[in-house]
Amino acid sequence: MTKAMTIPNGAAPGDVLELTVGEAAHGGWCVARSDAPGDQGKVVFVRHALPGERVRARVTSRTTRFARAEAIEILQASPDRVEPPCPYARPDGCGGCDLQHARPAAQRAIKAQVIRQQLRRMAGIEREVTVEALPGDPAGLGWRTRVGFAVGPDGTAGLRKHRSREVVAIADCLIAHPLARARDVTGRSWPGARGVEVTVSPGSGERSVAVSGPARSRGGNPRPWLTQHAAGRTWRVSAGGFWQVHPAAAGVLTEVVLAALRPQPGDVALDLYCGAGLFTGALAGAVGAAGLVTGVESDVAAVRDARKNLARFPQVRVHRGDAAQVLAERGLGGASLAVLDPPRAGVDRRVIEMLAPALRRIAYVSCDPATLARDLAVFAGLGWRVDDLRAFDAFPMTHHVECVATLTTGPGG
């Protein structure tokens, strides 16, 4: 057992602190306060712990303002604690899963608390939030349809440690969908490769294995794209292109977006960051031949997929480019509705400022509570409000969560 210690000038990486853990924080951490000499009151962000626990935690890094640590011994356990189902979900192990040591319901409660925290701190919004489970495995395993494996210098495929380039050799990944299970990737050598990405389509049974680096791609789908299924139809999605990794997420989110926007025949709508066209297609069906839907996407392959997927809708236009640039050049085209599904970095402020004066309803789909809250604050400053916010556990066992905020402006929305 490592001996707990403190240092007069503060705790250094490798030192072990005894801590009482407080609330969860964005990113898979819990917050504690150090009482080590030289560090009294300093924030310590702790992984592998749960709110309310007393732990011994090994410091992994520190700055002048805070330290990071991993709980290596649980002195007083939370009633929500369970044994992680995966042997690699541990301190100094795989960095992919943050919450395997908590019951699924407790994981969702932690994510809801983090969303509330970000809304309050960054947007001044006080709102109750419930994170809803998606249909599928209630244990939170076997859902991930895309898994990116890193390859170490010896050619072994595995997963990286948290905040590290070091590769942890694994035999299997328990959150991977059965079609994406790791044994045929981790059980062989990949000399010269930097990484191996496995992507699957549960509905069609298709599987793609893409190798990055000098090694050539091996096995998998002979086509450069997979057929995904959601919202009552099939979608072509290029291998490596964006698609929701939980099998149920695309369909559920489409229903929520349509409920948020309430599109009517003849409406004009925008789908920014449209990817392969999932929401564009749903909106096209709702606005009908008398309406218009414009999708905007920067990725070349995704634009190609979207145009292929939406070719049967004459009321759809798909433009390639940066969202702010496309809107500045082409205008909003009379749109009154928009869905925003940006990457983790959130929406460019210029986009918000162009949309705010013209639209009446917006559905904002976000995989990052911090950038969502930041952008909601910008919308609020321009006269918009959050009418509804739903959150979904689209990434069980991890700290990630998917949100859909419904934004409206004017009396009664």
Distance in angstroms (rounded) separating the CA atoms of residues 394 and 400:
8
Start-to-end Cα distance in the chain: 60
Written in H, E and C, the secondary structure of the chain is: CCCCCCCCCCCCCCCEEEEEEEEEECCCEEEEECCCCCCCCCEEEEECCCCCCEEEEEEEEECCCEEEEEEEEEEECCCCECCCCCCCCCCCCECCCCCCCECHHHHHHHHHHHHHHHHHHHHCCCCCCCEEECCCCCCCCCCECEEEEEECCCCEEEEEECCCCCEEECCCCCCECHHHCCHHHHCCECCCCCEEEEEEECCCCEEEEEEECCCCCCCCCCCCEEEEEECCEEEEEECCCCCCCCCCHHHHHHHHHHHHHCCCCCCEEEEECCCCCHHHHHHHHHHCCCCEEEEEECCHHHHHHHHHHCCCCCCEEEEECCHHHHHHHHCCCCCCEEEECCCCCCCCHHHHHHHCCCCCEEEEEECCHHHHHHHHHHHHHCCEEEEEEEEEECCCCCCCCEEEEEEEECCCC
The single residue of 30, 86, 367, 403 carrying the catalytic annotation is: 367
Distance in angstroms (rounded) separating the CA atoms of residues 77 and 54:
7
CA distances, 373 to each of 118, 369, 379, 397, 400 (Å): 6, 6, 10, 23, 15
Q: Is 94 an active-site residue?
A: no
Q: Which residues are catalytic?
A: 367
